[in-house]
Amino acid sequence: MRVIAPDFDRLTERPGAGPLPRPVEIGPEDTRFRDLLSLVIDDLPDGSAVEGHSADGALLLVLLAGAVTIAAGADEHRLDADGDWALLLPPGQGYRIAVLAPATLAEARVRAHASFAPLALRPKDGTLALDGPGLALRLVPLGAGADASAGLGDAVERLVHLTGPARVTGPEGAHELPPAHTLALAPGEAARVEGMGEMLVLAALRPGAAL
């Protein structure tokens, strides 16, 4: 298990806007993962607009706070607390984000094994969940003694982002973590988490793999 700290001083330039705060920026050099390629989390100011592209991977955009619209092709999707919380985009898809209220947006990229249509995701009973294509997602309230994989198992690569302070217990003991830390769990690794805020769990799914 790797524990990856945020960098609240990091800024990034994005087409259409910048510099923007990017407290979380995780890639293969941090995780040594093969299929779960990256996770970035940007803080987007009200009224800003940014552009992006899914390139050759599947891209999942998850709203952690605020409100945005995301234009992808001929369609426009609104993400806010009362409606959809996430949007999954296929490889080769350009998009434009317009910020309606100060927003925190996570973007996770995984290796793509198939094409699919954009998919908007809405929570059920306070939990956001997705199982494929290529990616599994759980966004759940963080409580006491939770499985860090949120039920996704330990057979796949996982990134676990903790929005609030948390205590993480693994084979090497317990860690008291401030907000915005991320766990990188390789296949075969497991941990328990308790704390405040929410837990965003992302898992890469290879073709034919079972959770």
What residues does each domain of the chain span?
A: 9-121, 128-204
> How far apart are the C-alpha atoms of 209 and 38, rounded to whole Å?
20
Residue-by-residue DSSP string for 39-74: EEEEEE-TT-EEEEE-TTEEEEEEEEEEEEEEEETT
Any idea which architecture 128-204 has in CATH? Sandwich (2.60)
Please answer whether residues 33 and 186 qualify as being in contact, where contact means their C-beta atoms are separated by less than 8 angstroms.
yes
Please check whether the two domains, 9-121 and 128-204, share a CATH topology.
Answer: yes
What pTM did the predictor assign?
A: 0.93
Looking up tokens 């779960």 gives 36
Per-residue pLDDT of the chain (211 residues; tens, 9 = 90+): 999 999 999 999 988 787 999 999 999 999 999 999 999 999 999 999 999 999 889 999 999 999 999 999 889 999 999 999 999 999 999 999 999 999 999 999 999 877 888 999 999 988 999 988 889 999 999 877 789 999 998 899 999 999 999 999 998 899 999 999 999 999 999 999 999 999 999 999 865 554 4
Please tell me the distance from the alpha carbon of residue 89 to that of residue 120, in angstroms, as a whole number.
9
CATH number 3.90.1150.10 given to 9-121: no
Q: 107-126: b or e for each residue (b if 16 or more CB lie within 10 Å)?
A: bbbbbbbeeeebbbbeeeee
